[in-house]
Structure 1
Amino acid sequence: MKKKKKLVIPHEHGGWAMVSVPFLTGMAVAAPQWIHAPLFVGWLLLYLASYPLLQAVKRASNRAYMLKWGAGYALGALACLIVPLIDRPQLAYFGIPLVALLAVNVWHSKRKTERALLNDLCAIVSFSLAAAAAYLAGGGEWGAKMAALTAFNLIYFMGTAFFVKTVFRERQNSRWTAYARIYHLLALIVPLALGSPLMTIPFVFPALRAFAYAGKAMRPAKVGIMEIVGALQFLILTVLLFPE
């Protein structure tokens, strides 16, 4: 009997948070518009397309099957993005950094070094740019406010990358535990430096998490729950506290 093929989707819960939370913060801080619906679906499909693409680069087995899924997702994304791009032509500018960042991810996948910190950084920068795109689609303008919102998303999710490394692959590496804790302390300072003191509050939870659990053995399910709770509190508090 022919083996039934499964739906090809990413399995990392952190990725689902990263693909949605920055976009939602940008949309809410600007103003929700009808254009956000096709834009988000297109963005989600681009994320889904990247997964089979990177898997195809990494492994020769099932390469044609993975590329078929990637092409299907990409075509769906293109169909969804046509209207937003016509309505907001400036959104096309985000394609340049996204392609460049994806190239770095492809390079790491080909060499099977996906867990490298640089690879994490490039992926998180890509996700964080969704905050800027959604902000622009909601009537926001290029400028310091857009940059700050993007930066806060980047800082938050980069912190999750540090934390996850300290409870799994680098759990017994005391230097990584120290790096994670120092990073989260610095993350508390950045909003103050940018003149947004209330935005320190969304970074309190991840800082407490880093000091309480970094370097300790944890079940993946518990880490996943913490990531979901952290992402939700960041989303809610950012929408409430980001300066007008």
Structure 2
Amino acid sequence: MSTVRRWIPNQHGAWAMLAVPYLAGVLIGSPNWLQLPLFLAWLLGYCAVFHVEQWVRLRRASRNPRAAARHRRPALVFGSAALACGLPLLSVAPWLAVAAALAAPFLAVNVHYARRNRERALANGLVAVVPACGMLLVALRAGGGPVAGGLAPALACLLYFAGTVPYVKTMIRERNSEAYRRGSVAYHALALLAAGLLSPWLAVPFAGYLARAALLPGRGIGVPAVGAVEVGCSLLLLGFLVGVYG
């Protein structure tokens, strides 16, 4: 069990961000066998990138060489497994190489922040959201759906998950910052307006996201409860996206 804990990334909030846009793309379009190995490659790739970032970060931030070294083997194993799943798909869907190339700059920015030991920076979190939400388009295209038809739901995902970055900070690391709370509420108010323009139905969940951003900070809610609320919010978004665009 301790080995599993060392190998599996401990950024629990990332799993919803990895899964929800992808599942939305699958369910909005037509499920296809190609989406299964693609999803596996996506998850394995995330695990590999996580350990690469930790290795890069700890090489500079820690005086203990073992701290960085323990991430090397997981990075190699997960990276090799991701390639083993992903490379054969290129023969069936060569356009995946374009998708990977478009995601690469965002990953490079995340590695840069890790090297500077600033993984928790607001900008770094926002950058990480973009390729994750872009996977909605990849999953939709893998199922034979039109990329243009996924732009609106992908933007809705981006509006929601970008909002989780400042909101979660108001609940944990910046829970005493009034500036962060106001900024989070202001963002969610704008996101509500933008979501309503995408579809009036999307105003319903985004109104709830605005309410939680305004009412929950400062109430002493524990980390597990914060995570549970975000899981519920993510599933709510998935349901609305499938209902509106499916």
2:175 matched residue in structure 1: 171
1:53 to 2:52 alignment: yes
2:213 counterpart of 1:214: no
Q: Distance in 1 between matches of 2:217 and 2:241?
A: 24
Gapped regions of structure 2 (runs ≥ 5): 60-64
Are 2:86 and 1:81 aligned? Answer: yes
The TM-score with structure 2 as length reference comes to 0.91
Give distance in 2, aligned partners of 1:215 and 1:96.
41
In structure 1, the residue matched to 2:234 is 231
May I ask how many residue pairs the two structures share in their alignment? 238
**Greater than 3 Å deviation, 4+ residue runs:** 4-7
Alignment of 1:159 with 2:163, yes or no, is yes
Once the two structures are superposed, what CA deviation does each residue of 1:152-176 show, in whole Å capped at 9, x if it has no partner? 1111111111110111222222111
Equivalent residue runs for 1:43-192 within 5 Å:
43-60=42-59, 61-62=65-66, 63-143=68-148, 145-192=149-196
Consecutive unaligned residues in structure 1, runs of 5 or more: none
Deviation at 1:5, TM superposition (A): 4.6
- Please give the root-mean-square deviation of Cα atoms over the aligned residues, in Å: 1.6
- What is the distance in 2 between the residues matched to 1:118 and 1:125? 11
Rounded to whole Å, the distance in 1 between the matches of 2:27 and 2:205 is 16
Residues 173 and 215 in structure 1, CA contact (< 8 A), matched pair in contact too: no
Is the 8 Å Cα contact of residues 90 and 96 (structure 2) preserved in structure 1? yes
In structure 2, what is the Cα distance between the partners aligned to 1:64 and 1:96?
A: 28
What is the distance in 1 between the residues matched to 2:218 and 2:226?
A: 13
SS in structure 2 at match of 1:89: coil
- Percent identity of paired positions between Structure 1 and Structure 2: 34
Maintained 8 Å contact 2:8/2:47 = yes
- Closer, same or farther: CA 176–75 of 1 in aligned 2, 3 Å: same
Asked if the contact 1:160–1:206 (Cα under 8 Å) also holds between the matched residues in 2, the reply is no
- Cα distance in 1 for partners of 2:178, 2:70 equals 42
Q: How far does residue 12 in structure 1 lie from its aligned partner after superposition?
A: 2.0
* Partner Cα separation in structure 1 for residue 126 and residue 164 of structure 2: 11
Q: Provide TM-score, normalisation by structure 1.
A: 0.92
